[in-house]
């Protein structure tokens, strides 16, 4: 009896002492690292969910090339439907039920803002896929990394681009009056005021679901605007361009990264109507260039039926940064080592994003700067300033 | 006093609860206390969401089921409750319990205000007017940055009481259960009172109600006010549960969800409201691993219930267990 108790005590003590040496971080085993991914795979914003396939393709490719430090990436995907309530459930499931090592997810800013505190409390490293609100990474959260051009960054790039044309004085802004429209409009108007001391010559709204932009177009024509900044969804941007063409308005139109040039051209069905459209472009090269095509092929290697669009590439840079940091964290992987490695990431050029990714312990908004793109003879042309055309 | 009068009780007849009934009640109470013992953080969050939506459906059912008015101000009441609670906690520094007071008052007033058009409008016209209110409120949340933090969303601190913080999902559950139990008990009692019977009478025949000496105007306004109050308090619980409220949480989708919960659970039934909340909150989570199935199941459930179960899940359950039949439920 005494021997049994003694043996049990010794085993218990041994286990306690040996514990730290054998302790694995949550979601990490000898041969796998569990990474949680979430995005809107269903619902009205499912188009944004295309980015999830790009992220997963990066991880699957890493697995096919032997993994990271002997471990394969185990992907756990959850759908949010772009709804904060469902998104919170998805993240709670990833953390408490799937027990992932890290999360690489989030394409809807509302969802990310809703789950931020939850992830902060859990201490799980969280790398954003594509949600762009500046409030996600400002103020900074130690375990949240934002390798995405934020709304402030996008607005700044658009306004700065317009101001590179000599004599630009009158910028008209047309936005949706909803939360998305406002979160994009406000940084643009603020930057115009702060950097150039200008107010928009017109500050108009066009509601989601509108089928006619005549009132806005006529006002812009009367105001003799030099540029029009559109903070609107793809359908309404197409309607605006259709009506602008109809009324002969030939003012350059700037739109954010949620607008795809080719998709807009298809929607409008008229090449001439999109001649004056310039969109914020989050990538280094046109999507039909050989540099980007290889990433499209990678997506189709693992998802043959997936139609690759500009959104598909959105999270791939971030996923490559995650892979880089996992490698740098070494074989004794912990969450802290992984976050330290991300904090050490400087000028990480994935070859996809229009600007390199840099994280510091003080700043987790990883992408600064960007470019604009337009269609030139039907081909996407990337521009840094007006004169590049 | 005649012999007959002498044998009549002074007040409403109350059946004494048998030991068996008390045992059943005790068993239900114990069962309700158990979920946190067996759940993880995620499952408990879903259970908490069910409690919130059960309360929402009970409040919505007052107008839709008991009063029989086609009004869709529910998402507006839900948002008003959430934002009033959030603003009271964040800007006025009130603890959750104290914030429930302005939440209740504002939601009650909003309900009464929405009840006024119902005095002149009916059917589709009332539906459109109340629907507009929801969109108007959402616009206010977006553009009222100073109070609501606009599109970024308003961060809500955790609920506290006597130095205790309801920080975890388990702790929130017991808080929510207490609030929901009190609200549902109160609603149940009101429905069985003279006021509640006047709501049902208005639903069945407004002219006959007036002929009986009950004012349809008072009945309608009180029903809307109580509905606003209950749903507003549910909104406050929602704010605490989510921890950050944003305008997009109170959109048309939210309204459709509330409507489906009431329709699938059973119009004019408290039990139905709870059943509907359980099914429609749990279904998306159960179907999480089957992309696209949620929409299909949601649609099939709604079509199936309307075609084959006009009394909703509650009607089916009552068919199996007749003792669950509520006196004033809608046929």
pLDDT tens digits, one per residue of B75-93: 999 999 999 999 999 999 9
Pair (A163, A264) in one structural domain: yes
Q: Are the Cβ atoms of A114 and B243 closer than 8 angstroms? A: yes
Q: Are the Cβ atoms of A179 and B151 closer than 8 angstroms? A: yes
The phi and psi torsions of A376 (rounded to 5 degrees) equal -120, 110
Query: Which of the residues A77, A92, A184 would you substitute to probe the B interface, choosing the one with the greatest number of B C-beta atoms within 10 Å?
Result: A92
The answer to the question of residue A132 being in a domain is: yes
Sort strands A371-376 and A379-383 into parallel, antiparallel or unpaired: antiparallel
Residue of B nearest to A138 (CA): B152
Tokens of B278: 């359980």
Q: Is the pLDDT of residue A180 over 70?
A: yes
The answer to the question of residue A113 being in a domain is: yes
Query: Which of the residues A36, A42, A82, A85 would you substitute to probe the B interface, choosing the one with the greatest number of B C-beta atoms within 10 Å?
Result: A85
Q: In the prediction, which pLDDT does B48 show?
A: 97
Q: In the prediction, which pLDDT does A253 show?
A: 96
Please name which of B43, B254, B84, B167 lies closest in space to residue A110, comparing C-alpha atoms: B254
Q: Is the pLDDT of residue A199 over 80?
A: yes
Please answer whether residues A282 and A149 qualify as being in contact, where contact means their C-beta atoms are separated by less than 8 angstroms.
yes
Q: In the prediction, which pLDDT does B16 show?
A: 59
Pair (A132, A262) in one structural domain: no
By residue range, what is the domain housing residue A320? 32-149+289-358
Phi-psi region of A99 (alpha: psi -120 to 50; beta: other; left: phi over 0): left
Tokens of A9: 């005590």
Q: Is A138 on the interface with B (CB under 8 A)?
A: no
Domain count along chain A: 2
The answer to the question of residue A5 being in a domain is: no
Q: In the prediction, which pLDDT does B206 show?
A: 87
Pair (A132, A232) in one structural domain: no
pLDDT category at A341 given cuts 50, 70, 90 is very high
Pair (A253, A379) in one structural domain: yes
The answer, yes or no, to whether the previous bond of A325 is cis (omega within 30 of 0) is no
Rounded to a whole number, what is the distance in Å from the CA of B120 to chain A's nearest CA?
A: 30
Pair (A97, A163) in one structural domain: no
Pair (A257, A158) in one structural domain: yes
Run of H or E including B83: helix B74-90
Q: In the prediction, which pLDDT does A2 show?
A: 44
**Which chain B residues touch A if contact means CB-CB below 8 Å?**
40-43, 45-46, 49, 138-139, 142-143, 150-153, 155, 169, 242-244, 246-249, 253, 284-285, 288, 291-292, 294-295
Residues of chain B with pLDDT under 70: 1-17, 327-331
Please name which of B264, B278, B279, B276 lies closest in space to residue B310, comparing C-alpha atoms: B264
The answer to the question of residue A7 being in a domain is: no
Sort strands A277-281 and A32-39 into parallel, antiparallel or unpaired: unpaired
SS3 content of chain B, % helix, strand, coil (to 5): 75, 5, 20
The answer to the question of residue A13 being in a domain is: no
The answer to the question of residue A203 being in a domain is: yes
Q: In the prediction, which pLDDT does B327 show?
A: 61
Task: Give the residue-averaged pLDDT of A229-255.
Answer: 93
User: Mean pLDDT across chain A, nearest whole number?
Assistant: 89
Please name which of A150, A145, A70 lies closest in space to residue A340, comparing C-alpha atoms: A145
Rounded to a whole number, what is the distance in Å from the CA of A40 to chain B's nearest CA?
A: 10
Q: Count of CB atoms within 10 A of residue B52's CB?
A: 27
Please answer whether residues A364 and A141 qualify as being in contact, where contact means their C-beta atoms are separated by less than 8 angstroms.
yes
Spatial distance between the Cα atoms of B200 and B65, rounded to a whole number of angstroms: 9
Pair (A183, A329) in one structural domain: no
Q: Tell me if residue B289 falls in helix, strand or coil.
A: coil
- For residue A205, give the CATH number of its domain: 3.40.50.2300
Partners of A95 on chain B (C-beta within 8 Å) are: 41-42
Spatial distance between the Cα atoms of A172 and A160, rounded to a whole number of angstroms: 14
Pair (A293, A271) in one structural domain: no
Tokens of A270: 């008229």
Spatial distance between the Cα atoms of B146 and B302, rounded to a whole number of angstroms: 40
Pair (A169, A96) in one structural domain: no
Tokens of A59: 């991880």
The answer to the question of residue A24 being in a domain is: no
Q: Which residues pair with A172 in a beta bridge?
A: A202, A228
Tokens of A292: 């980007």
Q: Are the Cβ atoms of A180 and B43 closer than 8 angstroms? A: no
Pair (A157, A218) in one structural domain: yes
Which tens digits make up the pLDDT trace of A13-63? Answer: 444 444 444 467 899 999 999 999 999 988 777 888 999 999 999 999 999
Using alpha carbons only, give the angle B105, B121, B266 rounded to the nearest 5 degrees.
70
Spatial distance between the Cα atoms of B204 and B329, rounded to a whole number of angstroms: 12
Spatial distance between the Cα atoms of B67 and B153, rounded to a whole number of angstroms: 34
Q: Are the Cβ atoms of B151 and A88 closer than 8 angstroms? A: no
Pair (A254, A270) in one structural domain: yes
Spatial distance between the Cα atoms of A153 and B184, rounded to a whole number of angstroms: 49
Task: Give the residue-averaged pLDDT of A207-225.
Answer: 91
Q: In the prediction, which pLDDT does B319 show?
A: 82
Q: Are the Cβ atoms of A84 and B242 closer than 8 angstroms? A: yes
Spatial distance between the Cα atoms of B50 and B276, rounded to a whole number of angstroms: 9
Query: Which of the residues B140, B153, B156 would you substitute to probe the A interface, choosing the one with the greatest number of A C-beta atoms within 10 Å?
Result: B153
Q: In the prediction, which pLDDT does B175 show?
A: 96
Pair (A96, A158) in one structural domain: no
If you compute the radius of gyration of chain A from its CA atoms, what whole number of angstroms results? Answer: 24
Please answer whether residues A198 and A159 qualify as being in contact, where contact means their C-beta atoms are separated by less than 8 angstroms.
no
Query: Dihedral sign, CA of A95, A97, A100, A103?
Result: negative
pLDDT category at A11 given cuts 50, 70, 90 is very low
Sort strands A227-231 and A202-205 into parallel, antiparallel or unpaired: unpaired
Sort strands A227-231 and A171-175 into parallel, antiparallel or unpaired: parallel
Give the CA count within 13 Å in the CB-facing half-sphere of A157: 28
The answer to the question of residue A16 being in a domain is: no
């Amino acid at each position: 009896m005494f021997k049994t108790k003694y043996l049990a005590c010794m085993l218990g003590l041994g286990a306690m002492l040996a514990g730290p040496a054998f302790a694995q971080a949550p979601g990490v085993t000898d041969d796998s690292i569990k990474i949680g991914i979430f995005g809107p795979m269903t619902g009205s914003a499912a188009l944004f969910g295309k980015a999830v396939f790009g992220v997963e393709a990066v991880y699957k490719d890493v697995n096919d090339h032997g993994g990271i430090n002997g471990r394969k990436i185990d992907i756990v995907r959850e759908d949010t439907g772009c709804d904060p309530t469902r998104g919170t459930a998805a993240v709670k499931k990833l953390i408490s039920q799937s027990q992932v090592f890290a999360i690489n997810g989030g394409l809807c800013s509302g969802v990310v803002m809703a789950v931020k505190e939850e992830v902060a409390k859990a201490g799980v490293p969280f790398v954003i896929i594509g949600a762009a609100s500046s409030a996600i990474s400002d103020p900074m959260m130690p375990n949240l990394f934002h390798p995405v051009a934020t709304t402030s960054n996008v607005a700044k790039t658009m306004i700065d681009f317009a101001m590179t044309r000599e004599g630009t004085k009158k910028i008209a802004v047309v936005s949706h009056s909803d939360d998305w429209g406002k979160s994009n409009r406000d940084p643009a108007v603020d930057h115009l005021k702060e950097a150039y001391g200008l107010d928009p010559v017109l500050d108009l709204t066009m509601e989601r679901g509108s089928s006619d932009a005549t009132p806005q177009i006529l006002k812009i024509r009367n105001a003799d605007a030099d540029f029009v900044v559109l903070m609107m969804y793809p359908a309404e941007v197409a309607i605006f361009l259709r009506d602008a063409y109809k009324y002969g308005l030939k003012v350059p139109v700037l739109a954010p990264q949620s607008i795809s040039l080719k998709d807009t051209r298809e929607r409008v069905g008229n090449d001439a109507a999109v001649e004056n459209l310039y969109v914020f472009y989050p990538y280094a090269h046109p999507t039909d260039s050989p540099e980007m095509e290889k990433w499209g092929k990678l997506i189709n290697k693992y998802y043959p039926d997936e139609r690759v669009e500009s959104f598909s590439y959105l999270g791939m840079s971030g996923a490559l940064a995650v892979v880089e940091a996992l490698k740098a964290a070494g074989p004794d992987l912990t969450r802290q080592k992984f976050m330290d490695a991300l904090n050490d990431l400087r000028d990480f050029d994935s070859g996809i994003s229009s600007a390199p990714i840099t994280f510091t312990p003080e700043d987790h908004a990883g992408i600064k700067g960007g470019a604009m793109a337009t269609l030139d003879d039907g081909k996407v042309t990337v521009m840094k300033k007006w004169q590049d055309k | 006093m005649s012999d007959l009068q002498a044998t009549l009780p002074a007040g409403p007849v109350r059946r004494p609860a048998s030991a068996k009934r008390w045992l059943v009640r005790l068993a239900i109470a114990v069962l309700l206390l158990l979920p946190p013992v067996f759940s993880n953080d995620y499952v408990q969050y879903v259970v908490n969401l069910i409690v919130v939506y059960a309360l929402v459906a009970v409040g919505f059912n007052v107008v839709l089921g008991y009063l029989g008015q086609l009004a869709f101000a529910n998402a507006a009441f839900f948002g008003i409750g959430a934002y009033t609670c959030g603003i009271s906690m964040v800007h006025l520094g009130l603890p959750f319990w104290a914030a429930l007071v302005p939440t209740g008052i504002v939601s009650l007033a909003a309900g009464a205000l929405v009840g006024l058009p119902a005095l002149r409008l009916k059917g589709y016209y009332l539906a459109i007017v109340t629907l507009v209110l929801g969109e108007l409120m959402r616009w206010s949340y977006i553009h009222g940055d100073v109070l609501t933090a606009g599109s970024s969303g308003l961060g809500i601190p955790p609920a506290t009481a006597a130095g205790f913080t309801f920080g975890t999902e388990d702790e929130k559950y017991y808080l929510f259960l207490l609030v929901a139990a009190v609200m549902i008990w109160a609603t149940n009692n009101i429905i069985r009172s003279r006021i509640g019977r006047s709501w049902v009478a208005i639903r069945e025949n407004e002219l006959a109600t007036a002929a009986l000496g009950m004012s349809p105007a008072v009945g309608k306004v009180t029903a809307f006010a109580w509905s606003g109050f209950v749903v507003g308090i549910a909104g406050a619980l929602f704010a605490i549960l989510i921890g950050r409220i944003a305008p997009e949480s109170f959109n048309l989708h939210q309204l459709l969800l509330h409507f489906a919960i009431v329709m699938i659970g059973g119009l004019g039934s408290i039990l139905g409201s709870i059943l509907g909340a359980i099914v429609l909150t749990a279904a998306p989570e159960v179907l999480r691993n089957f992309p696209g199935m949620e929409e299909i199941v949601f649609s099939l459930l709604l079509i199936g219930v309307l075609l084959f179960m006009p009394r909703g899940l509650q009607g089916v359950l009552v068919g199996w267990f007749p003792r669950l039949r509520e006196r004033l439920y809608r046929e």
